[in-house]
Amino acid sequence: MLVMSATKVRNEWSAVVDTVIRDKPMLIKRTRDYMFLSDVGFLNELLTAYVFHAQVFTEDDGSTTISLDEIDLIENSASEQEALLKLAEAIYEYSKDYYNDYSYWARGDRKAHMPYVIKSLLLDDVEKIGGLIQCRHGKS
């Protein structure tokens, strides 16, 4: 059974949750709507491939600017390490804003941000987010 009806899910809620946690994710159908129910571990596995890519530039004043490719975020600081930490903090703050006002942020081109937003929120740690940023050095 690939899809379970919402009525059956309601009637068998405990069994459905047990299946999702211990066995596999499930697809649920309610009228014309389809939903996906999984445990967080499975979601983390789905998002494993999502990492951030950024360009690092050394400015004329010696400071470092890091520009994120996937989301329009740029940070500058005295050192590359400080700029990377500030960028990770910016990613986390953006992710919280995006999720909290999903109907606004998930329009148009920003829909593609969703996997990165969920990944950042699941990590819930600025240092871990920073560890996902793959930097390449560019010319300023």
Give me the CATH number covering residue 20.
3.40.1620.10
- Whether residue 32 is found in the same domain as residue 7: yes
CA distances from 24 to 4, 10, 49, 140 (A): 13, 18, 20, 48
pLDDT at 30: 95
| Residue 107 and residue 113 in contact, taking contact as beta carbons nearer than 8 Å | no
Give 39-97 pLDDT, tens digit per residue: 999 999 999 999 999 999 999 999 999 999 999 999 999 999 999 999 999 999 999 99
Asked whether residue 32 falls in the same domain as residue 65, the answer is no
Q: Are residues 52 and 15 in the same domain?
A: no
CATH of the domain at 75: 3.30.160.620
Clarify whether residues 87 and 29 are in a common domain. no
How many independent structural domains does the chain possess? 2
Q: Residue 36's domain spans which residues?
A: 3-45
Q: Which residues pair with 64 in a beta bridge?
A: 58, 77
**76 & 9 share domain:** no
pLDDT band at 2; cut points 50, 70, 90: confident
What is the percent of the chain where pLDDT is above 90?
91
Is the domain of 29 the same as that of 62?
Answer: no
